[in-house]
Amino acid sequence: MKIVTILGARPQFIKASVVSNALKHAGIDEILIHTGQHFDSLMSDIFFQDLALPVPHHHLNIHSLNHGAMTGRMMEKIEELLLEQELPDWVCVYGDTNSTLAGALVAAKLHIPLAHIEAGLRSFNRQMPEEVNRVVTDHLAQLLLVPTPLAVQCLQKEGVSQGVHLVGDVMMDAILTYKQKAKQTSDILAKYQLRPEKFYLATIHRPSNTDEQYRLSAIIESLATLDYPVVFPMHPRTTAQIQAMDLERYFALNSIIAIPPVSYLDILMLESFCKAVITDSGGIQKEAYILGRPCFTMRDETEWKETVEVGWNHLVQPETLHSAIANFTPPTEAPTLYGNGDAATQIAELFLASS
């Protein structure tokens, strides 16, 4: 069996590291296509190095374009590779990026079976490009590998029931796989002289938070006035917007520690030892929950609703962040939401069963 896996963004590299290992152990031939959507070495190359992910067989180097141009050029290159070189039995995509959508559309047009890892997630906000990408991909896929029971329910409400498998979340696999290695090798806490639970971790990158000056200013100001310093790994988009909007004055207060994007091992350490996570990222909400850290999500909605329902994740705005943190009381329980860490093995078994 031959699978072509299409990757393009940081979270996908992390997920693929554990799934690719499971596919290898199952004797499945996997070809990796890296679209180049995340092209910065700190957003891409470092993850392949730290997680021992195989070097991609093909690198398309497509990035820094508008949604339509990026997706279209990815489709053109992916179609060419699938038709002329690889001829796979399956195409596998992850999550909800433009790379995901491009791979899904090409597979559908070429009548190649499509597998979607992390299927069924819904924020119910069609203004998010990611929501459009994940909905379209789910309705094209023949194998939908679902992380949570709530995601299964979302698919059922849309009439999608064939090929749906609740396997758990591969991010649980990744955390269990790499947490000990992070403790042994990461020096991020010492590097920035961080004490456990005496700092916050913030990641802000979504256009809804970065593209309007009043919004981004309010977010940065709310971070700068918290009771502990905020470690802020800066997404390239966020860095560019802060510079363009002349918001760097907030960083002179020494209450925000702006740092470059960090490796997965470093982010695991920051998530594990911070007082709380403040983010607009989907995956980091989930990682915070698995690692037992409170999360405050700077969005109106989340695709990880179960973390909100159990009380560990709170949707906030810049003006409500301080009160949400001050009034937070840790719930007495943190039920298992994302499986037992064997999602990758189940995925490999499902591929074998499909042959």
Tell whether the model's pLDDT for residue 130 goes beyond 80: yes
**pLDDT of 115 over the 80 cut:** yes
pLDDT tens per residue across span 176-205: 999 999 999 999 999 999 999 999 999 999
Query: In this prediction, what percent of the chain has a pLDDT beyond 70?
Result: 97
Q: What is the pLDDT of residue 45?
A: 65
Q: Does the structure show a pLDDT above 60 at 125?
A: yes
- Whether pLDDT at 16 is above 80: yes
| Average pLDDT of every residue of the chain | 93
**pLDDT tens per residue across span 64-73:** 788 899 999 9
pLDDT at 41 over 60: no
- What is the predicted pLDDT for the residue at 44? 53
pLDDT tens string 264-312: 999 999 999 999 999 999 899 999 999 999 999 999 999 999 999 999 9
Provide mean pLDDT across the span 12-17: 91
**Which CATH fold would you assign to the domain 179-326?**
Rossmann fold (3.40.50)
Residues with Cβ within 8 Å of residue 32, at least 6 apart in sequence: 5, 7, 16, 20, 53, 54, 55, 56, 57, 58
Find out whether 199 and 226 touch, Cβ atoms under 8 Å. Answer: no
Q: 204-243: per-residue pLDDT in tens?
A: 999 999 999 999 999 999 999 999 999 999 988 899 999 9
User: Residue 353's pLDDT is what?
Assistant: 95
Span 310-325, mean pLDDT? 97
- CA 89 from centroid of its chain's CA atoms: 26
Contact present, 183 and 269 (Cβ < 8 Å): yes
At 53 the pLDDT is: 79
pLDDT of residue 10: 85
CA distance 211 to 199: 26
Q: What is the pLDDT of residue 50?
A: 75
Which one is predicted more confidently, 236 or 335? 335
Read off the pLDDT of each residue in 71-83 and give the average, rounded to a whole number: 96
pTM of the model: 0.92
Q: Which value, in Å, is the radius of gyration of the alpha carbons in the chain?
A: 20
How far is Cα 115 from Cα 264, in angstroms, rounded to an integer? 25
Q: What is the mean pLDDT of residues 116-145?
A: 96
Please indicate whether residue 36 or residue 346 has the higher confidence score (pLDDT). 346
Residues 295/313, Cβ–Cβ less than 8 Å: yes
pLDDT band at residue 47 using 50, 70 and 90 as cut-offs:
low
Position 43 pLDDT exceeds 80: no
- Mean pLDDT, range 322-339, rounded to an integer: 95
Please list, residue by residue across 53-71, b when 16 or more beta carbons sit within 10 angstroms of its beta carbon and e when fewer do: beebebebebbeeeeeebb
First to last CA, the chain: 7
- What pLDDT score does 67 carry? 84
> Could you give the residue ranges of the DSSP H alpha helices within the chain?
10-25, 45-50, 67-81, 98-109, 129-140, 149-157, 170-185, 188-191, 207-210, 213-224, 236-244, 264-273, 282-290, 305-309, 321-326, 343-354
User: What does 113-153 look like in DSSP terms, one character per residue?
Assistant: -EEEETTT-----TTSHHHHHHHHHHHH-SEEEESSHHHHH
In terms of C-beta density within 10 A (0-12 exposed, 13-18 middle, 19 or more buried), how is residue 251 classed? middle
Cβ-contact 102, 113 below 8 angstroms:
no
Residue 39 has pLDDT above 80, yes or no: no
Q: What is the pLDDT of residue 355?
A: 77
Nearest Cα residue to 204 out of 187, 222, 216, 214: 216
CATH of domain 2-169+339-354: 3.40.50.2000
Active site residues: 205
- Ordered by start, the domain boundaries in the chain are 2-169+339-354, 179-326
